[in-house]
Amino acid sequence: MPAARSAARLLPSPTATPLATLMVLLLLAAALLLHLYPASVADTVAWASTNVHNLADHPVAAMVGSTFVVPGNLMPNLLMVAVGFAVLERAIGPWRTAFVALTGQVVATLLTEYGIELGAHIHLLAQFSAERPDVGVSYVMYTVLAAASLSLPRRIRIVGLMIVAVSVLYPFIGSPGMTSTGHVLSVAVGSAMMIRIGGAAHRRQTRLANRLCASAA
């Protein structure tokens, strides 16, 4: 049935969307470990947090590890990660999807962490802690969801992007902070990257069409 096939494309598949499947499995495995070893949760969060201290000490491990440390309720984020990665990976492939996700995580983290630190140093913002806890998959999730929305067919593309935009703008306007700012930045990065990828793909198709026409002539 067409409806069933369309619904299936929203979910990860080990063969069609290996990256989305891997993300779901890693998030589930990390959540299980946190559940089995509750005494280690605080130390894990402290080590994996993408704060200024950890970014100076072990930046790569913090950037990657923090994504999979979700101490609270994982299920809402897990569902959105599964759908976002599955849709985007089917549209642009696993390597580009990974690049989009990683870029969103890095850009949003660096701008928020060092932006807040700078604001505190010049007395525009309140006291800043270089060792504050900051973990979770949300920056990656919102980056991928924004890019995935722009990969949808035109009739639902705007609706999808509007839903993602409202979900980050409403908390940002109501209670602006580091995390809500990071979510807005993540959506902006995901959207910009998908527009660039789409533009590059269109230019390649145009060049190929021109070459084919020239060959036929």
What is the structure's pLDDT at 28? Answer: 96
Q: How confident is the model at residue 5 (pLDDT cuts 50, 70, 90)?
A: low
The average pLDDT across 165-172 equals: 94
The average pLDDT across 59-68 equals: 94
Q: Does residue 163 have a pLDDT over 80?
A: yes
Give the whole-angstrom CA distance, residue 87 versus residue 102: 17
Q: Does residue 143 have a pLDDT over 90?
A: yes
* Residues 200/156, Cβ–Cβ less than 8 Å: no
CATH code: domain of residue 36? 1.20.1540.10
Q: Which domain holds residue 89?
A: 2-216
Among 9, 47, 193, 5, smallest CA distance to 107 is for: 193
Give pTM, 2 decimals.
0.86
Q: Mutual orientation of helices 41-48 and 59-67 as an angle, nearest 10°?
A: 130
* Residues 104/139, Cβ–Cβ less than 8 Å: yes
pLDDT in tens, 120-142: 556 455 555 566 788 999 999 99
What is the structure's pLDDT at 133? Answer: 82
pLDDT in tens, 108-121: 999 988 877 665 55
pLDDT in tens, 84-114: 999 999 999 999 999 999 999 999 999 988 8
| Beta-carbon count within 10 A of 123 CB | 7
Structure tokens at 111: 């701008």
DSSP string for residues in 81-127: HHHHHHHHHHHH-HHHHHHHHHHHHHHHHHHHHHHHHHHHHTTSSS-
Structure tokens at 6: 């369309």
**DSSP 8-state secondary structure symbol assigned to residue 9:** T
Q: How confident is the model at residue 9 (pLDDT cuts 50, 70, 90)?
A: low
Q: Which amino acid is at 132?
A: R
More confident residue, 195 or 130: 195
Question: What total of structural domains would you count in the chain?
Answer: 1
The listed range with the strongest mean pLDDT (5-19, 73-87, 203-217) is: 73-87
DSSP string for residues in 144-200: HHHHHHHTS-HHHHHHHHHHHHHHHHHHHHHS--HHHHHHHHHHHHHHHHHHHHHHH
Phi-psi region of 123 (alpha: psi -120 to 50; beta: other; left: phi over 0): left
Give the whole-angstrom CA distance, residue 85 versus residue 94: 9
The helix or strand, by DSSP H or E, that contains position 65, with its residue range, turns out to be helix 59-67
